[in-house]
Amino acid sequence: MLLIGVNRSPYTRRVAITLKAYGVPFEQQSLSAFTNRAEVRANNPLGRIPALVLDSGETLVDSGAIVDHLDEAYGGDRPLTPTKGADRRAVLKVAALMMGACDKALQAAYTRNHTPAEKVHQPWIDDCNAQVVNALAAVDTMVDPAQPYLLLGRLTQADVTAFVAERLARGIGLDTEAQAPRLRALTKKLLGEPPFGATEPPAT
């Protein structure tokens, strides 16, 4: 199995953490959607990371679709996203908030990095960042510091997505220690667990 993408990407890292949590062996080709455009587009016509090439040769794209497959193939009766009911809805809600926060954080970053300086509209960046902070703050209220994980007393996709979103928020300069302190404490704790620690991208 081959994971395509750099772990600096929250979506790629989400998949890498999920693979490791399930104990699935995989190789990784650390390609960036911007500096390795042709290779990424050869695997995903949309030109985005992550993509996952299965041993059969089939290629899956989009982190949500990929983790859905991994749940089905390796999750047994305790997949990282529960299969039904209130537990499933609760995990999917956190995942939606956290993946949406990543989308907004990247919109802000792309605006800053891919727009001529004189055309950058700072209020738009500020608004994207405010949405990121609001989503993180909402998830922060769900954290019970006495519990090892966000929901259900076990590792779920809620933890995985909250972890990568909080990491990205810090990466773009947001003060998660101040804005989402319980979530920040949880991500520090999670970093000590192999799927999270082993996927930390190299410092640039």
Task: Give the one residue of 3, 7, 9, 167 binding ligand GSH; rule: CB under 6 A.
Answer: 9
Give 118's DSSP letter. G
Three-state DSSP class for 109? Answer: helix
Tell the residue number behind the tokens 């605006």, with chain if given. Answer: 111
Interaction between residue 197 and ligand GSH (CB under 6 A): no
Interaction between residue 163 and ligand GSH (CB under 6 A): no
Q: Residue 129 is inside which H or E element, if any?
A: helix 122-140
Task: Give the one residue of 49, 135, 155, 169 binding ligand GSH; rule: CB under 6 A.
Answer: 49
Alpha carbon 148 to chain centroid distance?
Answer: 19
* Amino acid identity, position 86: A
Interaction between residue 68 and ligand GSH (CB under 6 A): no
Count of residues interacting with ligand GSH (CB under 6 A): 12
**CA-to-CA distance for 33 and 186, rounded, in angstroms?**
29
Q: Which stretch binds ligand GSH (CB under 6 A): 45-53, 76-84, 127-135, 145-153?
A: 45-53
Could you list the residues that contact ligand GSH (CB under 6 A)? 9, 11, 33, 47-50, 62-64, 99, 106
